[in-house]
Amino acid sequence: MKLQIIIVSFTIVAAGFLAACDVEPEPLEIQKSLQWEDKGEAYYTNLRAWKATRPEMGFGWFSGRTGKSSLQGSMRNIPDSIGMISIWGGFNPDTDPIQAEELYHYQTVCGTKVLRTYLLESLFPLEREEGKTDLQLMQEQWGWDDGALRPSDRYVAVTPAQEAAIRKFARSIAEPVVAGGYDGMDIDHEPNVGGGTKPYVLGGYWNRMLVFFDEMSKYFGPKSGTGRLLAIDGEYYSYILPEIGPMLDYVISQAYTSSGYTDLDNRIGRLYTTFPDIPKEELAAKFIVTENFESYAGNGGVTHTTRDGQSVQSSIGMALWQPIVDGTPVRKGGAGTYHMEYEYNFFQDYKYLRQMINIMGQRENEE
């Protein structure tokens, strides 16, 4: 992030940090140099301390260099103050030393949580063999039994062999993320709107998803005891049993082209319905809303109506929005953007993302 701040004590971290977000972006020469500016250890110490308080945070899905200029696909242009980034493609720090440096800088120096996204598809990954059915391949490669892959009963019980296969699949996702040094996992769950054959073998069944998340929770999330985060995005209300709620740190809504606060209120309402045993205020603190910057990076989203009737761009509206619990506004988890890196093509200082972070942080400081 292009911040210029000096903070003399921890007690004024949030105030000093957020006030500085309104300064002009750094000169273009610095952004193009691909060099880290030396802002001093005091700056980064206070930045990490502020993030450790878990304020409403800025969030973004980031896809690296594939098909993009080196600058647009570089993490170094992302604001330092971003709270959490979820990587979902085009980023390979294990083989790219520049990306390894970027990952280190944001995680270790800036205190940003960096997750890896995994899209649950219609079927487990399979090595195709001519003449063999999906069921045969699932049996041979994952240990599935003779049970149907896509039975009509979405609450079908999970057999011991199926449970073992699901847990094996979950481990195959989790272990590389842990080995890669990421801060957590983001499960992209889109069993109804996603592509491929329906129903999804895993994502389209209640009890199968419970087994999957139970295994994932050994590696990530509050139950793991590891400090690594577990998030779900997409259809967080589809085939997700209430028992999964305590396993999650964050629930991320793809609130693309959100028309206003009524839409956001409805989205969090589905979260309350999905996890009825968790207090609403606690769920609100897990909830992150996002706009689609693959399509709207140049103008910050669509026209969005606030609770008091004002019209703002949807990304700004998401930052301003606060859930209401028993008549009282409460904090949410945060707000952010999909394809956050696309904003660089329009605003090299990440204009809208910075505004979102600033709005949420200033409100918390006022409280």
Chunked into runs of 10 residues, the chain (367 residues) has average pLDDT values of 27 34 33 63 95 93 72 84 94 89 94 98 97 98 98 98 98 97 98 97 98 98 98 98 98 98 98 98 98 97 98 98 98 97 92 96 62
User: Is 2 a member of any domain?
Assistant: no
Contacts for 69 with CB less than 8 Å, ≥ 6 apart: none
CA angle (162, 191, 304) in 5-degree steps: 150
Give the pLDDT confidence score for residue 98 in this predicted structure.
86
User: Is 259 a member of any domain?
Assistant: yes
User: Is 41 a member of any domain?
Assistant: no
The identity of residue 195, as a single letter, is: G
CA 213 vs. chain centroid, Å, equals: 17
pTM of this prediction?
0.89
Contacts for 214 with CB less than 8 Å, ≥ 6 apart: 247
Range of the domain at 276: 56-362
Task: Report d(CA 57, CA 82) in Å as an integer.
Answer: 7
User: Is 300 a member of any domain?
Assistant: yes
3-state secondary structure 325-361: ECCEECCCCEEEEECHHHHHHCCCCCHHHHHHHHHHH
Give the pLDDT confidence score for residue 69 in this predicted structure.
58
Token pair 């026209």 is found at 303
Give the pLDDT confidence score for residue 367 in this predicted structure.
45
User: Is 275 a member of any domain?
Assistant: yes
Give the pLDDT confidence score for residue 24 in this predicted structure.
36
CATH number where 90 lies? 3.20.20.80
Given a contact cutoff of 8 angstroms between Cβ atoms, the answer to whether 265 and 323 are in contact is yes
Give the pLDDT confidence score for residue 1 in this predicted structure.
29
User: Is 102 a member of any domain?
Assistant: yes
Give the pLDDT confidence score for residue 6 in this predicted structure.
24
User: Is 178 a member of any domain?
Assistant: yes
Other Cβ atoms closer than 10 A to 75: 23
Token readout for 308 is 């008091």
Given a contact cutoff of 8 angstroms between Cβ atoms, the answer to whether 223 and 152 are in contact is no
User: Is 29 a member of any domain?
Assistant: no
Give the pLDDT confidence score for residue 20 in this predicted structure.
34
Domain tally, the chain: 1
Task: Report d(CA 109, CA 244) in Å as an integer.
Answer: 32
